[in-house]
Amino acid sequence: MATIIFHIDVNSAYLSWTAVEQLKNGAEVDLRTIPAIIGGDQKSRHGIVLAKSISAKKYGIRTGEPVANAFRKCPNLVTAAPNHKMYREKSRQLMDYLRTYTTEIEQVSVDECYMDFTKIADKFASPVAAACEIKDGVKNKFGFTVNIGISSNKLLAKMASDFEKPDKVHTLFPEEIPLKMWPLPINELFMAGKSSVDTMKKLEINTIGDLAKADPALIELHLKSHGRMLWNFANGIDDSQVRSKPSEAKGIGNSMTLSEDVATYDEVQKVFKSLAQSVGGRLKKAGQKAMMISMEVKYHNFQTMSHQRQLSKPTDKEEEIYDAACQLFLESWNGEPVRLLGIRTAKLVDASEPEQLSIFDIKMPEKPDEKHQKLNKAMEEIRKKFGDSAVMKASEMK
């Protein structure tokens, strides 16, 4: 049975959901029909653009840019402040509706998800007919629109959903790649950030097709493992599965949205130090250790990425959690500024369970470093009593 994957993406989610709510409350103007954005404050013009209307896009307004810049491009711009509580409710309603079709759904953000359509394909005349039914159902039931991309894997479905908007259904099957995807500029490839694009343009790679036909070893030489991933994406290669169920064990994690985008590895390390301290402390408090560490990133343009690793043995040590997160970050980072970082743990085991040691774990007895042991214990006690930020190393201070 051929795999069929849908990628469902709400069109300008924050703006659409705000417009629907305003119209429900008696507003006479639909934000989606005028130059409008979500983000910041109309008077102060602080903050960044979280979503924009099609009319605003015509003025060159981009998601992620400062609101003040957007007003310089369009002085008559209308803005509304974000309402994340309302967004979460709209998202929940959408996902509940989609689950009336299948529970094989992986939600990847508040406004987008993947649906494994394979098992229910025979109930519909075609995948396109089913996608049109879902798209129209969302519009009629909730008042906002979605784009749906259809393919045999998640990457191509995602690329298809980004074709012409709004309120559209597009296919991008492997045989359609040369016609529909390869002519696109390289910056339209999923996960191709500005830094990667600049590097590839220096190599005279200007379209996705140029990258697909390039020597992967050359790309990897310049962009490391991220380059190999981009080369795979350009050729439509993606073996990731739709994960509709949570991890084997409920995990412990923490994330931090940064007050300013960070663009250097040194800054990232400081954030991971704080997060690893928090996650390690919570694992100890729960009496658990983790066999799996995952690191998540949200870039300045709101693209998200995560990377995970199975450990050789379970841990609750903040140093080991920190080291794993940093390594995962370096393997995945595309060089773009970052606005959110997170560390998650999974495959938890009871901390009291005996560990199976390999020959490489066996060391000759050493005199314990009592000074550091006492210091770490004292720091843990202070944090338990007064909170994680009560005591920290000087290197972690801003």
Q: Which residues contact 263 (CB under 8 A, 6 or more apart)?
A: 337, 338
- HSE, side-chain direction, 13 A CA sphere, residue 373: 4
How far from 296 is each of 87, 153, 369, CA to CA, in Å? 21, 22, 34
- 162 known ligand binder: no
Using DSSP bridges, classify how beta strands 169-171 and 146-151 pair: parallel, antiparallel or unpaired: parallel
Angle, nearest 10°, between helix axes 127-142 and 84-98? 140
List active site positions: 112
Q: Which residues contact 111 (CB under 8 A, 6 or more apart)?
A: 9, 10, 13, 14, 87, 91
Q: Classify each residue of 189-208 as buried b or exposed e, where b means 16 or more C-beta atoms within 10 Å of its C-beta.
A: bbbbbebbbebbeebebebb
- 369 known ligand binder: no
Binding residues: 9, 111
Binding residues for Mg(2+): 9, 111
